[in-house]
Amino acid sequence: MMHLARTHLLVRVLLVILVGGSIQACRGETPSDDLPVRVAVAVAPTPPIVGPNRLVLDLTDHDGAPLDAAAVHIEGTMTHAGMVPVFDTASHQGGGRWIVPEFDFTMGGEWILIIRVELPDGQEATRRHELNVVGRGGTGGAP
């Protein structure tokens, strides 16, 4: 009886870990390092469309204060095979804000922005942001 109860508890703990993990993965920001870097991504228009879109990246530390960075590079990719990734570099606007005036989404669907933040001390933080691009195109230019 005691053994059964303990097994049941273990299953529940495992479930919480599994469910918690998948929620984390769906939030779109998956730190691959322990650096205190947060990236909030805003896109105009919203939702983003096929073609040029404006990206606004607000970098903060874990206390929410604007974060100093040396450079911010962005790679846009999709989950399916055979996709040519899109690369761009953000411009510093002051404080923790960086902007890409025309990030070119070449196709509609689920995109992953891989944001590489180069810190003043040379360390690099990588953050991911998922978004859904509305519209078609990119494969042959057909509307």
Q: Which is nearer to Cu ion, 50 or 83 (CB)?
A: 83
Applying CB under 5 A, does 40 fall inside the site for Cu ion?
Answer: no
Contact flag: residue 72 with Cu ion (CB under 5 A): no
C-beta of residue 74 within 8 angstroms of C-beta of residue 115: yes
Footprint of Cu ion on 100-139 (CB under 5 A): 107
Residue 4 or 142 having the CB closest to Cu ion: 142
Query: Which of 50, 83, 99, 114 touches Cu ion by CB under 5 A?
Result: 83
Nearest to 41 by CA among 96, 108, 107: 96
Kindly state the tokens that stand for 56: 């606004």
Find the radius of gyration of the CA atoms of the chain. 19
Q: Which of 37, 39, 74, 78 binds Cu ion (CB under 5 A)?
A: 78
| Minimum distance, C-beta of residue 78 to Cu ion, in the bound complex (Å) | 4
**Count H helices, E strands: the chain?**
1, 8
- If 0-12 CB within 10 Å is exposed, 13-18 middle and 19+ buried, where does residue 19 land? exposed
Residues at the contact surface with Cu ion, assessed by CB under 5 A? 78, 83, 107
